[in-house]
Structure 1
Amino acid sequence: FVELSNGLSTVLLRSSTMEAADATGCRDGFIKTFTESGAWPAMTPATGPDVRTLRGDGADRAFATLIEDATVEAPAVYYLECRTLPAAEGFLVVIAIVPANLYEQQTGPVDQLLATLQLPAQDAPAASAAGPITLPGVALGDLAPALVGVAGTTYTSPSYGFRLDVAAPWVIESATSDQGADALHVSDGTSQLVLDAYRATDITPAACLGEVGAELAADEAFGGVRIMQGADGAPLRGSDANGDYVVYTFTLAGAEGADDVEQVLYVACRTLGDGAMLRILHFTPPDDYDAQSRARQAFLAGLVLADATPPPADWRPPHR
């Protein structure tokens, strides 16, 4: 049994000696487990854009695609495939689990991984031996997020005009715009980054940061909130003509008996002019802060404001 993940999607590989006449029987056995065991009560067969059920039958290879419905907190698409192993050794079972809201962005990375799969005693990848291993197009319906301001991999703020290219490993979790408040939420599988732009009377970077600090202090889910210290012992905070930043550490309470999670939150606020503010929130595990700080810096280097002026050279995330 092998479990592989990029922090967003998961691929499970396992060998099975289940009693089944062929790959179709193997697949049907797993479908029954998913849909009738009660462990996945909201799992149903998925359909493609042509409304056909996504499944294929065969003695050596059989597959199906299932999807959780909107009643699940974070619905996912499950791609299941069974392949017969050489010398009647059973079946290779491949299960790819992809968040429904990221499905279209994650098919490429998952396909690249599955294309390297090799069956025992075969020189050629399984993809060439029995057809390509690729995730199918799925009709996501209401599970497909409405990504406002997104065209391809480029996000453009509808209200404030700044733009940013979102390239791998970053993916867009959500993009919204409502009454002058624009928000872009991206992830690289390890950390979560939010760009939040809004307009407020007499708003300043200091006031923007103060609002975040007050929210952290008032929310019981955040424990032990304090400003993080750098290697020299100095607090990680600063300001310049364009904005202020501060880095917090805290403990996030686990949900329903789960362990508490240590987190680092980098917050930066900068003015966009005419009473508008851009707030950047970056959540990352403490052990990954240095690497994620560099990743954030590289990502935000592509931020272009509405006047096509790149961010100032001195506006960079801090390092410990």
Structure 2
Amino acid sequence: MAQEHRKLLIIGSGPAGYTAAVYAARAMVEPLLIQGMQPGGQLTITTEVENWPGLVEVQGPDLMVKMEEHARAMGADIKFDTVSKLDLSVRPFRAECDSGDVVTADAVVLATGAQAKWLGLPSEEKFQGFGVSACATCDGFFYRGKEVVVIGGGNTAVEEALFLTNFASKVTLIHRRDELRAEKILQRRLLKNPKIEPLWDHEVVEVLGEQDPLGVTGVKIRNVKTGAESTLDTSGVFVAIGHSPASELVNDQLELLEGGYVKVEPGTTRTSIPGVFAAGDLTDHVYRQAVTSAGMGCMAALDAERFLAEHDEAGEPAPDAAQIEEVPA
């Protein structure tokens, strides 16, 4: 077991984490980034990315490899490990890793991201990135003139379905119930859209597709009231049953928003504990894009660098837990 101290610890290795590492390293803060169980985050299970500025098309895993290489080139230390416990009640902050190593830090950037909730079907996992998606904004462009299905009944599902009508020839919304849980105004927009057809009281039990090339051709659906099964032809399946922010490390230490997202002071990445900053999907339940996550990673690094500089110039240690201020609403 090893123990080390850093001025800045970055937890998470998606676009937010790697961008924070680039900016912090360039500011000579000498950050340590701990990658977590899925280095690169959600983009590692994405195929074509066509909305990253400057690159007409890039594979998701390739983009994350380039971001990691960039952070290393700037001087950031990157470690493949997982933080299993984070104590924000002590100064310096203390992180314990699965490897047994312990890292203390004067400031922390949380960039642990969020994961889409999936149905849990083996066939769904098989076709992820090849016709099964959890992000219409990311992948809707690939379904121009094609028929797609959206699974869910809340705000996310309705918003995804409405967005997909910009590309798809038809959108079938599959919902287990006979009414939507989404806001009324969204329901009205969906129900009057001629491209959207709701399929009530049904659930998807299997994603159907071809092997060579790998791709979705349909779904097997079941009526939850009668048990009758049938198939529905489709080129794309969008699962929209919500996201789970990876806030387990701090859910009893930081102020959170509904759904478990970390709350930050508007216009900043500052959390309810001075010296702790949050960026990316961990705090963003609205946009959830790689480019916005990267932007917040930049903000977090700059916020952290200023925090550290202020306390260094004052010749005083970082404030302890007794000085925690509540984040403004």
TM bucket normalised to smaller: under 0.3
TM-score (ref. length: structure 1)? 0.24
The structure, 1 or 2, with the larger RCO (C-alpha pairs under 8 Å, 6+ apart) is 2
- Tell me the TM-score normalised to structure 2 length: 0.23
Q: Which has the higher helix share?
A: 2
The structure that is strand-richer by fraction is 1
